[in-house]
Amino acid sequence: MRFINPKTDFAFKKIFGSEQSHDILISFLNAMLYDGNDTITAIEILNPYLAPRIRGIKDTYLDVKATINNTTNVIIEMQVLNVEGFEKRILYNAAKTYSNQLEVGEDYTDLEPVIALTITDFPMFPELNQLISRFILKEKTYLTDYPIYDIELVFIELPNFRKQLEELETLTDKWLYFLKTAKKLEIVPPVMGSVPAIQKAFEIANQANLTREELDDLEHHEIFIYDQRNAIKKAVKQGLQQGLEQGLQQGLEQGLEQGLEQGELKAKLAIAKQLLAVLDDEAIIQATGLSLEQITALRNK
């Protein structure tokens, strides 16, 4: 058997966000949020589209959105590329999901908690070096919890999950192994197939059960991710090489210190030039440290 990559946008939504996925999503969320305990007993998968209530605020599409036990809203995102502004987007989506619960005239006491669960295929918080991180509102000095425990951000960093098949013990282990390695597997390992929800997830992920249109969509998603990663790598590599060559040449002519300073600037400009077709101005500024005026000048050229 060949399985689709559950980390791609299309596959993740199909496996965890379709109408046939209720038991899969319950098992997955119990594993990710509640240490494998049967805390979630009922779930409703919702439309992932978040319509804005305020004119001028943009629309948002989540990967999966659900209500668990009729009380808590969960929004789930699988993120493969580490793009600029990603951290703010997570907070924005959580706040938007929280505020969108109320209609005109409804009381604030009607608001239900929101959990934003984000799985990343890259290190999100390298300084923490842990698999699962949870963030809530706390008082800055004494770190006491805010009285209303209504918004929680949960991050799972797949690169920090390093267990092999023979080391899988918990339900959390098995689901993370599924996310990370399903595409490379040719059979369903018995230790994972013994969990009915994971067995069903493998069945949905089986390429033999997909239509030609679905396989085409999946291929387009994977090509896009591959192209974006390579575009960034190429831009950085070419920018560094071009900048260093020019900097060294000027260093020989004008002195080492001045040459290194100019070389660093040219390296940044070269990197920015390569990223013009890939990222917006704000993202390029964050990546290179250049000013908006310098980026605008490059675009005008």
Higher pLDDT, 273 or 24: 24
CA distance 285 to 145: 35
pTM: 0.73
pLDDT of residue 144 exceeding 60, the answer is yes
Instruction: Tell me what the pLDDT averaged over the chain comes to.
Output: 85
For the segment 84-112, the average pLDDT, to the nearest whole number, is 89
For the segment 153-179, the average pLDDT, to the nearest whole number, is 96
pLDDT for 215 equals 76
What angle do the packed helices 292-300 and 256-275 form, to 10 degrees?
60
Judge residue 226's burial from the number of C-beta atoms within 10 Å of its C-beta, 0-12 exposed, 13-18 middle, 19 or more buried: exposed
pLDDT for 273 equals 83
For the segment 124-140, the average pLDDT, to the nearest whole number, is 93
Strands 49-50 and 72-79: unpaired
DSSP state of 189: -
